[in-house]
């Protein structure tokens, strides 16, 4: 796991966008795993800038969503598919039919989960999966207690996550209780995991995920099992890390030929 500590959210977004930009350059028909929420917004903005500057094309790429709320109408502003369209897809040349999300509008959500897993396999797997982290240590919407081998399925949000996400809704009651999310094993199948976290509120879950025990109580601790993880955090999110000095030293001395 590579932990990259940067000054602020702008710098974090630039690094994450640079990883996707490089992927698009080396593998134009790639599969990008897209997260929602606040954490990847700067990354998407940077990617849009790179596209507008003519440095990248998304024409051959696919985007797969990490998760989606259950129970919101298809045109609801907080639907994650809509979020990804507004933040990224509408501004670049990614074909709309190349944007995939779990089907949360069906009656049979268990089958929808299986179909999503089959789709990810058909696409050849996810090349780079962008991730945020919840204050309770969730990745995707795998809340504490999620099976470490879980696959795409319905989950119930914790009270903490619903309170965190209430800022996007009219009030707490409007926040859905259920989501469909890629499982922890699904996320672990991606070839490169890139987690972005900024702000002091992310310090406890980052410390638990990066340096705590591997446990379902902190689902993001599955990052420790993965052979290629880049955790990009600002100083505030790094403030609970015991080995921060080592991560800084490692990054400062990173060989010029070594990519993220
Ligand atoms: C979103 C997702 C969640 C968020 C997490 C952090 O697709 O899967 O895990 O990444 O809740 O949200 P923000 O970035 O809004 O703090």
Token pair for residue 227?
């052979």
Do 214 and 188 meet the contact criterion of CB atoms below 8 Å apart?
no
pLDDT (tens digit, 9 = 90+) per residue, 147-198? 999 999 999 999 999 999 999 999 999 999 999 999 999 999 999 999 999 9
Question: Residues 60, 86, 158, 102: what is their CA dihedral angle, to the nearest 10 degrees?
Answer: -40
In this predicted structure, what is the pLDDT of residue 3?
Answer: 98
Answer yes or no: is the C-beta of 183 below 6 A from any ligand 1 atom. no
User: Residue 95: phi, psi to the nearest 5?
Assistant: -60, 135
Residue 99 pLDDT grade (very low, low, confident, very high; cuts 50, 70, 90):
very high
In this predicted structure, what is the pLDDT of residue 166?
Answer: 97
Enumerate the β-bridge partners of residue 70: 178
| Residue among 8, 19, 12 at smallest CA distance from 50 | 19
Do 215 and 133 meet the contact criterion of CB atoms below 8 Å apart?
no
Q: What percent of the chain has pLDDT over 90?
A: 100
pLDDT (tens digit, 9 = 90+) per residue, 35-87? 999 999 999 999 999 999 999 999 999 999 999 999 999 999 999 999 999 99
CB atoms within 10 A of CB 120: 22
Residues written for the chain: 260
pTM of the model: 0.98
Residue 33 pLDDT grade (very low, low, confident, very high; cuts 50, 70, 90):
very high
Q: The tokens 């109408």 sit on which residue?
A: 73
Domains of the chain: 7-252 (3.40.50.1360)
Instruction: Report the separation in Å between the CA atom of 164 and the middle of ligand 1, taken as the mean of its atom positions.
Output: 9
Answer yes or no: is the C-beta of 132 below 6 A from any ligand 1 atom. yes
What distances in angstroms separate CA 55 from CA 21, 50, 52, one per listed residue?
A: 8, 5, 8
| Residue among 129, 131, 130, 137 at smallest CA distance from 203 | 137
Answer yes or no: is the C-beta of 66 below 6 A from any ligand 1 atom. yes
**Taking all residues of the chain, what is their mean pLDDT, rounded to a whole number?**
97
DSSP for 159-194, written as a single string: HHHHHHHGGGSSSGGGS-SEEEE--HHHHHHSSEEE
Positive or negative: CA dihedral 73, 76, 79, 82: positive
**Per-residue burial over 2-33, b = 16 or more CB atoms within 10 Å of its CB, e = otherwise:** ebbbbeebebbbbbbbbbbbebbeeeeebbbb
Instruction: Report the separation in Å between the CA atom of 131 and the middle of ligand 1, taken as the mean of its atom positions.
Output: 7
Residue 105 pLDDT grade (very low, low, confident, very high; cuts 50, 70, 90):
very high
For the annotated catalytic residues, the residue numbers are: 67, 136, 138, 143
With vertex at residue 58, the alpha carbon angle to CA 23 and CA 19, rounded to the nearest 5 degrees, is 25
Answer yes or no: is the C-beta of 67 below 6 A from any ligand 1 atom. yes
């Amino acid at each position: 796991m590579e932990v990259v500590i940067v000054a602020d959210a702008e710098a974090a977004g630039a690094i994450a966008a640079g990883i996707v930009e490089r992927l698009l350059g080396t593998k134009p028909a790639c599969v990008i795993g897209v997260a929602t929420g606040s954490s990847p917004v700067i990354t998407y903005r940077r990617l849009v800038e790179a596209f507008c500057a003519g440095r990248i094309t998304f024409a051959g790429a696919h985007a797969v969503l990490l998760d989606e709320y259950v129970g919101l109408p298809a045109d609801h502003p907080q639907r994650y598919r809509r979020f990804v369209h507004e933040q990224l897809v509408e501004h670049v040349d990614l074909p709309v039919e190349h944007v995939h999300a779990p089907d949360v509008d069906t009656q049979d959500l268990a089958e929808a989960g299986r179909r999503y897993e089959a789709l990810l396999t058909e696409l050849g797997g996810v090349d780079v999966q962008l991730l945020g982290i919840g204050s309770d240590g969730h990745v995707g919407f795998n809340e504490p207690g999620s099976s470490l081998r879980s696959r795409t399925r319905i989950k119930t949000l914790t009270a903490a996550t619903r309170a965190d996400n209430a800022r996007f809704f009219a009030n707490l009651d409007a926040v859905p209780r259920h989501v469909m999310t890629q499982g922890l094993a699904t996320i672990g199948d991606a070839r490169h995991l890139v987690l972005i976290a900024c702000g002091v509120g992310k310090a406890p879950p980052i410390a638990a995920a990066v340096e705590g025990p591997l446990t379902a109580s902190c689902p993001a601790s599955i990052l420790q099992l993965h052979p290629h993880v880049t955790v990009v955090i600002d100083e505030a999110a790094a403030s609970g890390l015991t080995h921060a000095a080592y991560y800084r030293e490692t990054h400062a001395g990173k060989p010029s030929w070594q990519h993220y």
